[in-house]
Amino acid sequence: MALKTETTRIKFYGVVIAAFLLLTQCESPHYYQEQKSVSGSTWNKDSALTFNFEIKDTAKTYNFSFLSRNTNDYPYSNFYIFTKLINPKGEEFTDTLQYYLAFQDGEWIGKGQHLKELFLVYRENISLKDTGEYKLSVWHGMRDENLIGIQDISLIVDKNTTK
């Protein structure tokens, strides 16, 4: 009887430890991260990928980045995107950004075989003066009406740890 109780106790603690490890390993190291997939492997220039995130701490500064994933079917070496950030007061801030996804010789930049993943810096050390809900919309700015090869874009927001 004592052996059965000891075995049950070991199993219980094993489950508790496994659950703790699972929950702590799944936590994102970023303040905010969300991935938006391009529907149907083509991205229409009028279709925005929209990210909503909340800022609670205005004393810190933030770093904004994108994580782009493209296939070998992407027809260009560069990638233009338009962004619109709307703060909690409704003020809008727009940007036009250009990133290079391939070197001049055509070799892709980034990690992966058929699907290339590339970290794209958007804005660094940004002070956000208002707490509340922010909305960032992203459109491709290429000449094509329907852009092929971009699979998804992630927005990553990190609290700045440098002073």
**DSSP states along 19-65:** HHHHHHHSS-SSSEEEEEEPGGGEEETT--EEEEEEE--SSSEEEEE
Burial 149-160 (b: 16+ CB within 10 A, else e): bbbbbbbbbbee
Name the pairing type of β-strands 49-55 and 92-100.
unpaired
Mean pLDDT over each residue of the chain, to the nearest integer: 86
For the ranges 15-24, 49-58, 104-113, 134-143, the lowest mean pLDDT is seen at: 15-24
Report how far residue 26's alpha carbon sits from residue 20's, in angstroms, rounded to the nearest whole number: 10
Q: Contact 156/32 with Cβ under 8 angstroms?
A: yes
**pTM for this prediction:** 0.79
Per-domain residue ranges for the chain?
30-159
Report pLDDT for 3.
Answer: 53
Task: Specify whether domain 30-159 bears CATH 1.10.3470.
Answer: no
Which tens digits make up the pLDDT trace of 73-117?
A: 999 999 999 999 999 999 999 999 999 999 999 899 999 888 999
